Amino acid sequence: MSNELLLQSITGIYAVCNAVRLLMYVPQMVAVMRDRCGAHAISLITWTYWSFSHAVTAVYCHVMANDLMLAGVMWGNAAGCLAVVALTMKKRQQYACSIKEDRAFA
């Protein structure tokens, strides 16, 4: 296999994996939305760190590698992680409010 073909293959596989990864945030978001107990199994620290990590990678891809397409993919991953964080925080807030209401009526 030629070096150019190998590089194209690796690039193609990487692109497909990242496109699929963007879709894989959806099941996590659905799980958070369906959770009835405040989504406490979701680690906000982990998802927030992944958001930050993807954002830093996006900046690196743009500034250092001058690869706008890869930077865009990384921004998409950062947005997917942030969406999970935001949904989890909202779910926890709703759960906390429901607990307060239950105690108020008890």
* Percent over 90 (pLDDT), the chain: 79
Single pTM value for the model: 0.86
> How do residues 26-84 score in pLDDT, each as one tens digit?
999 999 999 999 999 999 999 999 999 999 999 999 999 999 988 999 999 999 999 99
In which band, very low, low, confident or very high, does the pLDDT at 15 lie, cut at 50, 70 and 90?
Answer: confident
pLDDT of residue 106: 63
> Which among 97, 96, 88, 98 is positioned nearest to 42, based on CA atoms?
88
